[in-house]
Every structure is written in C-alpha cells, then in structure tokens.
Chain A
C-alpha cells in the first residue's frame, strides 16, 4: 500500500477515529474512573494502559472471530465474561512479575472490567467488523487511553514527586506539590487537559 493512498483507506479512518476524533477521554469523558485513581505515577499509568490494551485487543479478536456465533440475547454477558477473564489474566501477570506495581494498583486492575471504553468498543465495533479492523480499532483506542492517562500521570508525578518513572527530574530546590500526588490534583489536571484540548479542537459543549 502506497503511503500517499494510506489516508484514504479504512484503516487510516479506524486509527484516526480511535486516536483522536472519537477520543475516549477528551471528548466522551468515558473510562475516566480507572484512569484517574492511579495516575499519580507514570509507571502505574503505563501498567494500566498496557493492561487495557491487552484486554481490548484480546476481546476484540475473540468477539470479531466469533461475531456470527454469539447469540444476540447473551452477547452482553459473553462480552462481560471475556473482559473479566482477560482482566484476571492481567492481574495474575502483574502479581507474578511486577508485585510492587500490583500492590500500588490494588483494586484498580479489577476495575478495568467496568471501563466503559472496552464494553463500548466491543458492542459498537468488534461485534460487526472484521478481525483486522477490530484489532486496529482496539489497539488505537487502547493507545489513546494510555497516552491520556500517561499525560495526566507525567504532570502529576513531576509536580507531585519531582520525579519521572522514579528518576529525579527537578532541581534540588524543587518543592513537591503534595496536592498533585493526592486525589484533588487528578481532578485539576484533567480539568486543565480537557480545557486545553477542547479549546484546541475548537469544540463547544452543549
């Protein structure tokens, strides 16, 4: 596929919609629950993001493959069982190989299940699109989720702890903004990010 033509393909549309236009957090303000609580350290955000990407891609793959087989009446419960099972796998994986991150995330790993984006994309996209497109959609939505969460986490970790991924990035004289490490900081950072991104996109609400 020539790069010049890439813009007109459906793949490009799928990716762009996932990454920016249907942006799950800036525009739809969905999936915000799990995004906020663990966003005071970048490593937590990356772990959560990786978990969400894994769960989304896996469910999208399965649902897309099975889409003609899943009986309509039990489809929601099927999606739920799939998502919950993949979340358990993520949870076990973190407990085994990243015990410190697992302790830090606590119940928030389990809450990936109620992340509105995953269920939303499963129902709206994977259930009636082909395998390739579904994976692309899941991947781009997952990456969008991750970079949103990571951008909140970068601001909060630098201001709140003076570090980034645990490495000191601020001068010696830096005073940590304790509020950024606590819950209120998350609300304020998200508010400012929404403000900036909405103003940049020239969008008006209501």
Chain B
C-alpha cells in the first residue's frame, strides 16, 4: 500500500510529470519562468491549490455526483470548486497570514486559468484513484510541476547572462526550447515508476 503510494508520487514527479509529459500548466509556465523568484512563488501556490482541490473534488465526485447519477456535470462542478477554492484561500490568507499573502498572493488569481489544476482533478476521475492515492497523486503532480518550472527558470536566468539569443527566439521561444530539452532529459527516467 505504502509502496504503491510512493510509486504514484515518484511517477507524478519524474516519469509522468504534468508539465513535461502531459504538457499542462504551460500558460503561467511561459510568463513566470522568466525569473527564479516568481517561479518558486507560483509553485508554492500551485501545490497548495492543486492538493486542496483534489481533496475537495474527489468526495464531491465519488460521494455526491456518482450516487445521484449526475456525473455528467462534473466539469462544471470541478471548475466552480477550483474558482471558489482559489477565492477562499486568498481571503483566508489575507486574514490570517498577511506575510504569505505578500509573498505569493498575487499568483493566486492566476491559478484559476492554470489548466493543470483542472487536469489533475480530471485524471483522478479517469484513472479511478482511491481517495488517498488521489491526494498523493495531486501533491506529487504539483511538486513535479514546481520541479520543472524551477529548473526551466534557473536555466533561463543563467542563459540570459551568457546568452546571444536570436531576437525572435527571446522570451517564449527559448523557454519552449529549454522545456523541450528538459522533457527529453526526463525521458531518461522512463520505467522508474509506473502510474
């Protein structure tokens, strides 16, 4: 049991990385991976929201939608839950942890349009995970996303110092090249863990 949970966690970070294998969450990836600081700030916010929405969405789907035969509308329910969670986290943080709010509060509204949050919830349903596995998978996916965005941002920062990048390649172009190379490198982990 524990071993299979660990397997899912490792797979979500290394072999089935949500950014590098499923190419999800690229919107903020492009805009935020320009600097290491913003990348890690966004990363923390993403871990929080992704895990929390999985914690909420799994019971809603399996305990409310399935028994009542209304699985059909799960897209609508999930997206509303995500939007509400982001709003709630923002309010709670403002109220109780103003320090955190200053540090990564500005990234929260951006998360609603981060497609990986919805994607993680959809994967839970499609793969028919148990509750515990779902939470581990969601947490692992978010950590995997941070790992990817932080590496890309770090390489991008260093590249700027020595860089002689063609004008058309600057910005999004070079980030795609870096991410592609990283995705290629991560293929080396293939087979380490299966989902």
Quick check: do A and B touch in the complex, using CB within 8 A?
yes
User: Chain A: residues with CB nearer than 8 A to chain B?
Assistant: 29-34, 36-37, 76-77, 80-81, 84-85, 87-88, 91, 106-107, 110-111, 113-116, 119, 179, 182-188, 190-191, 194-199, 203-206
A187's contact among B24, B170, B177, by CB below 8 Å, is which? B177
Contact B27 A206 (CB under 8 A): no
Interface of B is mostly: helix
Give complex CA distance A124, B25 in Å: 22
Q: How far is the CB of A113 from chain B (nearest CB, A)?
A: 6
**Set A107, A197, A206: member contacting B122, Cβ < 8 A:** A107
Asked if residues A187 and B180 are in contact (CB atoms below 8 Å), the reply is: yes
**A15 CB, nearest partner CB in chain B, Å:** 25
Chain A residue numbers with a CB within 8 Å of B195 are none
B23 touches A88 (CB 8 A): no
Q: Which single member of B114, B170, B171 contacts A114 (CB below 8 Å)? A: B114
Using an 8 Å CB-CB cutoff, how does the interface string of B39-80 with A read, 1 for contact, 0 for none? 000000000000000000000000000000000110110011
Interface size on B, residues (CB 8 A): 44
Query: B169: which A residues are within 8 A, CB to CB?
Result: 191, 194-195, 198
Q: List 16 A-B contacts (CB under 8 A).
A: A30-B27, A76-B83, A80-B79, A107-B122, A110-B75, A114-B79, A114-B115, A114-B118, A179-B184, A184-B183, A185-B180, A190-B176, A191-B177, A191-B180, A194-B169, A197-B168
Q: Which residue of A lies closest to B125 (CB)?
A: A107
Contact A184 B181 (CB under 8 A): yes
**Which residues of A have CB within 8 Å of B25?**
33
Tell whether, in the assembled complex, residue A77 and residue B80 are in contact, meaning their CB atoms are under 8 Å apart: yes
Complex contacts, A36 vs chain B, CB 8 Å: 23, 26
**Are B118 and A204 within 8 A (Cβ)?**
no
Given A116-B27, A188-B177, 6 new contacts (CB under 8 A): A33-B26, A107-B123, A111-B122, A183-B183, A184-B184, A186-B23
Q: Could you tell me if B180 and A184 are in contact, using CB atoms closer than 8 angstroms? A: yes
